[in-house]
Amino acid sequence: MFTFDMSNKVKVNMNTILFIIGSTRLKSFNRQVAKYVEGLLKGKANVKYFDFTELPFINQDKEEPVQEVVSRIREEIMNADGLWVFSPEYNYSYPGYIKNLFDWLSRPNDPTIQNGPTAIAGKKITITGAGGTFATKGMREKLTELLGFIKADVMKEPMTGIHVTPEAWGSNILTLSQEDKEHLQKQADAFLQFI
């Protein structure tokens, strides 16, 4: 998308970044982090929250013909300049919810062409996670491995892991520390350069 810069009277091309939230929880801490990052990117990139709640579980019986929801999701991914994943950690790994998304994206866009082009190959991605004791270390490591395997282009550094305090678990309100905010700013700046 182009915006008009009044000071220079020129059109400025802004990248589109899709935010992928790895939790369906209404008061998700990771959605709260995403909202903060959206503010960091204001005026620098177009942010869209990616809705894939209608995506069915991956099943070869449902791959052909390609379902409308699958086509829409692939098209949105391909049209984005970058993806920013905000995810909790489930049992030292990523949730099945986003695994299902990336499984679909790893399949050929045209199921009749074995090893054909996919929507995720070469896509620029960065990862942030808010969670328990290990600040989503396991999720970030394992998701990086998965995304590399399906040929996405992951920005491995910097990433941000946020430790959710007991107070936040009780209130469902995440308060970012100054250190968290600084890490997220560095990640946002680096990702804009990366894409």
| Residues paired with residue 15 on neighbouring β-strands, in sequence order | 45
Q: What pLDDT, on the 0 to 100 scale, is given for residue 8?
A: 53
CA distances from 127 to 9, 65, 79, 180 (A): 35, 32, 19, 14
Task: Note every long-range contact of 63-71, with CB atoms under 8 Å and residues 24 or more positions apart, other chains counting.
Answer: 63/107, 63/111, 64/111, 64/112, 66/109, 66/110, 66/111, 70/104
Q: Are 187 and 180 in contact (CB under 8 A)?
A: no
Nearest C-alpha neighbor of 32 from the set 171, 194, 182, 191: 171
pLDDT of residue 11: 53
Residue 145's closest CA among 181, 94, 180, 86?
A: 94
Report the pLDDT value the prediction gives residue 4, as an integer from 0 to 100: 47
pLDDT of 13 reads 79
SS3 156: coil
What global pTM score does this model have?
0.92
Q: What is the pLDDT of residue 5?
A: 52
What residue ranges of the chain have pLDDT lower than 70?
A: 1-12
